[in-house]
Structure 1
Amino acid sequence: MPIDPTAVGSQSEPVRHSWTSSDAILYALGVGAGAVDPLDELGFTTENSNGVTQQVLPTMAVVLGVGGGGAFGSIGSFNPAMLVHGEQAIQLHGPIPVAGEVETVGEITAIYDKGKGALVEVRSASTDTATGQPLFTTTMSAFIRGEGGFGGERGPSGPKNPPPERAPDHEQAYVTRSDQALIYRLSGDRNPLHSDPTFAAMGGFDRPILHGLCTYGFTGRALLHRLCEGDPTRFRAMEGRFSSPVMPGERLMVHMWETGAGEALFQTTGDDGRAVLSGGRLAYAVAS
């Protein structure tokens, strides 16, 4: 059955996911925390340092809000190998607990006909089961190659969140490890594209590539430290578009432009200056 545009509005069954203090630390290490200045990120990489309270990186929402993708089951059949992660956004309703459990429900919020493929957007709302309060919302879009041409709306197009034509206000460089994908995958994404050279070759790569959401996590760290002074309670929302694959071991540069009180645009580039995460926007609380 081809892609069914009437699936917009379909929801997944609620899925529960729990995590521990160790999971929060493993995620932080998976997105490079502690590699530049261990003392600066001690609160994210250890639970037992004197005088330091453990915290959770805001971008961990992308691995905790699992289950919402079950809504994809309502859109019809397609070849999963033809699916490409297009965009990712998170909205935090408060700091993520060091350990806890969420219940997540996903909803198909849009299906667009892009001609050569279909663009499907899924929004997943995660509720803290201990308090009954919303904890975070994640939104992802996926481009499914070969599934267009069904006569649906084309949807929005063109550049999103273009940065100002001036030098960035802040820049932050991070070098990923050669084994970065092997560490990051322990947080849940076991796609062999990021670990198995044979599988990566089938996808046209000479070696396994880094998870796009790992690049997203590295970028989120830069935004947190340069714009929120390392305080996760000030980090409100982040969105960006995956523009190019990253190879483990590559150097990432995050360029940031402050565009208003509590708002910034950003772009992350790779070794050769190409954009790897573009159309980026951060919303954050301004320090009082």
Structure 2
Amino acid sequence: MPIDVGRALSAEPCRTDLVWGHKDIQLYHLGIGAGANPDKDGPATDPDELRYTLESRLHVLPSFATVAGGALAAAGGLSTPGIDVDLAAVLHGGQRLELHRPIPVEGRAVQTSRIAAVYDKGKAAVIVLRSDAADEDGPLWTSDTLIFVRGEGGFGGERGPSERLELPDREPDRTALRPVREDQALLYRLSGDWNPLHADPEFAKLAGFDKPILHGLCTYGITLKAVVDTALDGDVSRVRAYTTRFAGVVYPGETLRIRMWRDEGRVQVSVTAVDRDDAPVLADTVIEHG
């Protein structure tokens, strides 16, 4: 079997040195749409966006952890001993991020990654890659990347969690529309995800898409920024954790509808593609905050 579960779980953790500075932060923020004003009746650039784009006012959106140091967690996990799968069968199934403290604008950290679990979903396997990052002052974040591998299930392992989060039976407390620029994927990939699926039309067609699609983690960042800006008073330091399941694709040029339901210490979120009759994009999405 291409996945040797015992070997994968017992493999030595992979250590990666991460280094980033304000340019990396600014590029990431621009890659998820910072700097633009979604209100077409307002100024071309909202002054509040300077906290994402101007080095003298810069703060760090926590989802930057998914690209810090240019590292690709999913790619690293697929090189773990015991993991030998067809990349064409691999999908990014979900992401969870836990923040231990705010991410500094300039940083050096060591990220330790390991396979935390391999679940048997019958016709597919789900690999959970856990990455912990820490600097000289202690832990920064813990990130779980869920990698869905078609055709690799049926090995008799644990099925793992499969609960779906129902949306509240009421109108959302906030709704934000976020247009995705035609060149958004080209800009976002400069933060380290060079998969041609997001840039090359011919490659995208081979993968079954009419044209290149937006990175799931770009949508992940766009969504977190919308929640921080509209439901958390623009304060990135309030974010404690952020979980999502990737439920569908986004094409550059589309508009995202981000609906938010507030509760004590959490915001539940639904993201859909307005241009395709609100087709699901992100599901089972929760942002925990202080």
> Could you state the TM-score of these two structures normalised by the residue count of structure 2?
0.91
Write the distance in 2 (CA, Å) between the matches of 1:68 and 1:265. 25
Tell me the equivalent position of 2:282: 277
Tell me the equivalent position of 2:172: 168
Write the distance in 1 (CA, Å) between the matches of 2:233 and 2:83. 45
Moved over 4 A (4+): none
Tell me the equivalent position of 2:9: 8
Write the distance in 2 (CA, Å) between the matches of 1:274 and 1:47. 37
Task: Deviation per CA, 1:228-280: give whole Å up to 9, x if none.
Answer: 211111111100000001000110011111122x1121111112211100100
Query: How has the CA–CA distance of structure 1 residues 205 and 94 changed in structure 2, closer, same or farther, with 3 Å as cutoff?
Result: same
Tell me the equivalent position of 1:41: 49
Tell me the equivalent position of 1:233: 237
- 1:106 maps to which of 113, 116, 126: 113
Give the match's secondary structure for 1:74: coil
1:57 positional shift: 1.3
Give the match's secondary structure for 2:47: coil
Write the distance in 1 (CA, Å) between the matches of 2:126 and 2:49. 37
Q: Does structure 2 conserve the Cα–Cα contact (< 8 Å) formed by 1:11 and 1:71?
A: no
- 2:125 maps to which of 103, 118, 130: 118
Q: Does structure 2 conserve the Cα–Cα contact (< 8 Å) formed by 1:258 and 1:264?
A: yes
Tell me the equivalent position of 1:205: 209
Q: Does structure 1 conserve the Cα–Cα contact (< 8 Å) formed by 2:14 and 2:114?
A: no
Q: Does structure 1 conserve the Cα–Cα contact (< 8 Å) formed by 2:94 and 2:245?
A: yes
Amino acid at match of 1:232: V
Write the distance in 2 (CA, Å) between the matches of 1:148 and 1:39. 50
Amino acid at match of 1:124: S
Task: Deviation per CA, 1:115-156: give whole Å up to 9, x if none.
Answer: 11111111100012xx24101111110110111121212222
Give the match's secondary structure for 1:8: helix
Write the distance in 2 (CA, Å) between the matches of 1:170 and 1:126. 33
Write the distance in 2 (CA, Å) between the matches of 1:145 and 1:67. 20
Give the match's secondary structure for 1:14: strand
- Count of paired positions: 277
- 2:159 maps to which of 142, 147, 154: 154
User: Which stretches in structure 2 are left out of the alignment for 5+ residues?
Assistant: 38-44
Q: Does structure 2 conserve the Cα–Cα contact (< 8 Å) formed by 1:3 and 1:150?
A: no
> Could you state the TM-score of these two structures normalised by the residue count of structure 1?
0.92
- 1:136 maps to which of 134, 141, 145: 141
Write the distance in 1 (CA, Å) between the matches of 2:250 and 2:82. 30
Write the distance in 1 (CA, Å) between the matches of 2:191 and 2:58. 18
1:67 positional shift: 6.1
Q: Does structure 1 conserve the Cα–Cα contact (< 8 Å) formed by 2:73 and 2:145?
A: no
Tell me the equivalent position of 2:42: none
Matched, 1:220 2:227: no
1:12 positional shift: 2.6
Give the match's secondary structure for 2:226: helix
Write the distance in 1 (CA, Å) between the matches of 2:10 and 2:266. 30
Q: Does structure 1 conserve the Cα–Cα contact (< 8 Å) formed by 2:90 and 2:147?
A: yes
1:58 positional shift: 1.3
Tell me the equivalent position of 1:264: 267
**Bigger shift: 209-218 or 87-96?**
87-96
Write the distance in 2 (CA, Å) between the matches of 1:75 and 1:165. 44
Amino acid at match of 1:24: I
Q: Does structure 1 conserve the Cα–Cα contact (< 8 Å) formed by 2:72 and 2:192?
A: no
Query: How has the CA–CA distance of structure 1 residues 34 and 85 changed in structure 2, closer, same or farther, with 3 Å as cutoff?
Result: same
**Bigger shift: 147-156 or 7-16?**
7-16
Query: How has the CA–CA distance of structure 1 residues 67 and 240 changed in structure 2, closer, same or farther, with 3 Å as cutoff?
Result: closer
Matched, 1:93 2:94: no
Write the distance in 2 (CA, Å) between the matches of 1:33 and 1:71. 30
Write the distance in 2 (CA, Å) between the matches of 1:266 and 1:242. 12
> What percentage of aligned pairs have identical amino acids?
44
Task: Deviation per CA, 1:16-50: give whole Å up to 9, x if none.
Answer: 111111110000000001111431210111114xx
1:74 positional shift: 2.4
User: Which stretches in structure 1 are left out of the alignment for 5+ residues?
Assistant: none
